[in-house]
Amino acid sequence: MSTDSTPEPTEPPRGAGPADEPPAVLRRLWGAPAPRRRGPRPALSTARIVRAAMELADAEGLAAVSMARIAEAVGYTPMALYRHVSDKDELLVLMADAVAADLPDIPKDDGWRAGLEAWTRAQIDVSLARPWMLELPLSAVLPGPNRLRWMDQAFGVLSAVDLPADEKLAVVGLLAQHVLGEARVHVESRRAAVRQARHAAGLPDDTPESDLDPAAIAAADPYAGFDAMLVRFADPATYPHLLAAFAAPTASGTSTSGASAPTDDDISFGITVLLDGIEAYLRRRGALPADG
């Protein structure tokens, strides 16, 4: 028992003991070296396992990714994989960060708005190229080195904007949420159109999309004939505002003054409207640089 008046510590100070050791998945994500073992350097590596998992997901979707399938792809037993990756949950974390390595560098000299537009569009493009990304659980999206590099680029684009860090982070988070929603709509509608095109042609479910008629896929898009569906099925007395809106000249993509719509595709439209709102917020906060 202590005889002085200083209370005895009930826990070790932060950073001083095993309690502050980061989880193994974060250490592996950031490339922390594993304990050295005797013998020759193993040919199998975490990076090779992750690459094989991504190639499998690219070819067959995330549901096809299993430790057994990856082991077969790399020519090892499943048990050999567990020396490099603790389980499938950790593998998904490593895959989520590895995808971010494919994102391009964003120039900072074009202004904050052009930079954020490029930053957002690049993520949507990668998500459409690798739709299995959208199926990753949120628990797999940890701040690894590649994702943090991507976030750092967004902060670089915003470096001339006079906002505190937490508000910049909120802006970046808002754009990231838009990426998820926009990409999911495009991926899911495409999948639905492909399924319908197969069914209409009497083809089996495993028929590759490349074997289908592109015009048939476009016609099967569940959103392609929305206005025609309204005219055919919707009662104007029950849905007066929808019918009136789609009957107006602005529904064709021109304003009442005849001006063209501000964007040329759905993805650009969403990004433009979102950035318009962010710009209005920045102006209200007085956060924009002198050159706008």
Residue 196 is which amino acid? Q
> Model pTM?
0.80
Q: Which letter, b or e, does each residue of 168-179 get, where b requires 16 or more Cβ atoms within 10 Å of its Cβ?
A: beebbeebbebb
What confidence score (pLDDT) does residue 5 get? 44
What confidence score (pLDDT) does residue 281 get? 97
DSSP characters over the chain = ---SSSPPPSSPPTTSSGGGPPPHHHHHHTTPPPPP-SSSPPS--HHHHHHHHHHHHHHH-GGG--HHHHHHHHTS-HHHHTTT-SSHHHHHHHHHHHHHTTSPP--STT-HHHHHHHHHHHHHHHHHHSGGGGGS-GGG----HHHHHHHHHHHHHTTTS---HHHHHHHHHHHHHHHHHHHHHHHHHHHHHHHHHHHHHT--TT--GGGS-HHHHHHT-TTTTHHHHHHHH--TTTSHHHHHHHHSGGGGTB-TT-PBPS-SSHHHHHHHHHHHHHHHHHHHHT-S-TT-
What confidence score (pLDDT) does residue 290 get? 77
Q: How far apart are CA 107 and CA 122, in angstroms?
A: 12
Tokens of 80: 């050999």
Q: Do domains 43-86 and 104-223+277-292 have the same CATH topology?
A: no
In the chain (292 residues long), the average pLDDT of successive 10-residue segments reads 43 48 80 54 84 95 95 95 92 94 89 96 95 90 91 95 97 96 93 92 91 91 83 91 83 42 73 97 92 68
Going by C-alpha positions, the residue among 25, 15, 20 that lies closest to residue 142 is: 25
Residues 43-86: name the CATH superfamily. Answer: Homeodomain-like (1.10.10.60)
What confidence score (pLDDT) does residue 171 get? 97
Could you tell me if 106 and 122 are in contact, meaning their C-beta atoms sit under 8 angstroms apart?
A: yes
What confidence score (pLDDT) does residue 74 get? 95
- Match 């994500």 to its residue by tokens: 29
What confidence score (pLDDT) does residue 162 get? 96
Domain ranges of the chain: 43-86, 104-223+277-292
Residues ≥6 apart with Cβ < 8 Å to 271:
117, 120, 121, 178
Class of domain 104-223+277-292: mainly alpha
Residues ≥6 apart with Cβ < 8 Å to 229:
none
Residue 25 is which amino acid? V
